[in-house]
Amino acid sequence: MKVIRFLLEKEFRQIFRNKSILAMILVLPTMQLIILPLAANYEVRNINLAVVDHDHSDWSAQLILKVTASGYFKLSAYEDNFAQSLTLIEQDKADLILEIPAGFEKNLVKEGNQKVMLSINAINGVKAGLGGAYLGTILRSFNEEIILRVANPQQLGVGGRAELTWSNWFNPTLNYNYFMVPGILAILVTMVGSFLTALNIVKEKEVGTIEQINVTPIKKHHFILGKLLPFMVLGNVVFTVGLLVSYFIYGIVPLGSLWVMYGFIQLYLPAVLGFGLLVSTFCETQQQAMFIMYFFMMVFILMGGLFTPIESMPDWARMVARFNPVSYLIQVMRMVVLKGSSWADIQYQAGIILLFGIVLNAMAILNYRKTN
């Protein structure tokens, strides 16, 4: 313990001498957690809509008003022919075209049906899919209003119309901040912890201080533990700052216990810090460590379930995600924050992360060499 105490004292002195590390720990995660959730959400708004109205009737005007009043669409053009609207899509000034045929109102009143055409710019698949779904929902709602207005009571059935109502569990208002902020916080904790540890040993190699440590009788596991514990403390600081930002900026109060979240973080940080230390033992320069960590962080983020559900990925990607520690932290954060999950609910994730921590730190200890 005396040896570890001296190593910890050395590490903390180095950390507090480096002002950039303190900025990385406190300022950068705070700014990212404030800014990123405002932009990273699944809502698509301000979809440019071009309307081709061949009918120019009261009902076509009501349909257009209903679409634009939804808040999702912005009327970018009102044309008389389809070719002009198609030109707008080619110029990227319109995302969807709603073409209302001639006789729209008359056919609805007399025949009870009428088709409209939707043309969607699918270069951006997400925007196209959601925009088409939004517009389809609005058209179905408009159709129901027409049925109530035009149809006879006998056509509606003796008992009237059956209406379906629903409620959303865990996130009733579908607030994307409640879904995104915990995931982004998990990414920030991972990035700060893994990058700092990956650069730590390499920096000592570059400045030559690693040689002074290697000639001492310090054992390898003492050295790795002395590198691990300070960044565990800093990781908890980043996590605490993130929770405070989530509460004061976004009003997010976890339904579950904070002790569950902090307990899981104590298992998670050794895993990601051990991974950073393992990378650091392989590299000779900070540039090498940065490139390797950048590669793995891109995989961790894109295949961690933050933006794309893991269940929607192909089989091979789901298999890769099982070896992604970030995916487990994102799951646990969302479970505790939104569902109020307890330790009993996260035993599987905790066991996997504990195994990650043991394996990665053992590999870092075994790979560290005190001689060249």
Q: How confident is the model over 355-369, as pLDDT tens digits?
A: 999 999 999 888 877
CB 126: neighbour CB atoms within 10 A? 10
Q: pLDDT tens-digit profile of 68-125?
A: 888 889 998 898 888 888 888 888 888 899 999 988 888 877 776 788 898 888 887 7
- Please give the Cα distance from 100 to 103 (Å, whole number): 9
What per-residue confidence (pLDDT) applies to 158?
A: 45
pLDDT of 349 over the 90 cut: yes
Q: Is the dihedral of CA 99, 102, 107, 108 positive or negative?
A: positive
pLDDT of 29 over the 80 cut: yes
The model's pLDDT over 302-324, given as tens digits with 9 standing for 90+, comes to 899 888 888 888 899 999 999 99
Q: What are phi and psi of 53, to 5 degrees?
A: -105, 105
Q: In 3D, which of 315, 333, 313 has the Cα closest to residue 325?
A: 333
In which residue are the tokens 């030109």 written? 87
Sign of the alpha-carbon torsion through 272, 274, 279, 285? positive
* Cβ atoms of 94 and 49 closer than 8 Å: yes
Cα four-point dihedral sign 253, 254, 256, 260: negative
Per DSSP, 61 falls in state H
**Residue pLDDT, tens place only, 177-196:** 888 899 999 999 998 888 88
User: Are the beta carbons of 222 and 370 closer than 8 angstroms?
Assistant: no
What are the structural domains of the chain? 2-40+173-367 (no CATH), 47-156 (3.40.1710.10)
Each residue's pLDDT tens digit, 185-224: 999 999 888 888 888 888 888 877 777 777 777 787 877 8
- Does residue 372 have a pLDDT over 70? no
Average pLDDT, the chain: 85
73-79 β-sheet, strand order: 73-79, 47-53, 96-100, 117-120
- Residue 173 phi, psi dihedral angles, 5° rounding: -90, 0
Among 101, 99, 100, 94, CA closest to 128: 94
Pairing of strands 96-100, 117-120: antiparallel
313, 303 contact by CB (below 8 A): yes
pLDDT tens for each residue of 127-183: 788 888 888 888 888 887 877 776 554 544 444 555 666 677 888 777 888 888 999
pLDDT at 344: 93
The DSSP secondary-structure symbol of 118 reads E
* pLDDT 10s digits, 259-269: 999 999 999 99
- Which pLDDT value is given to residue 328? 96
pLDDT at 22 over 70: yes
Distance (Å, rounded) from C-alpha 329 to C-alpha 241?
17
pLDDT for 367 equals 85
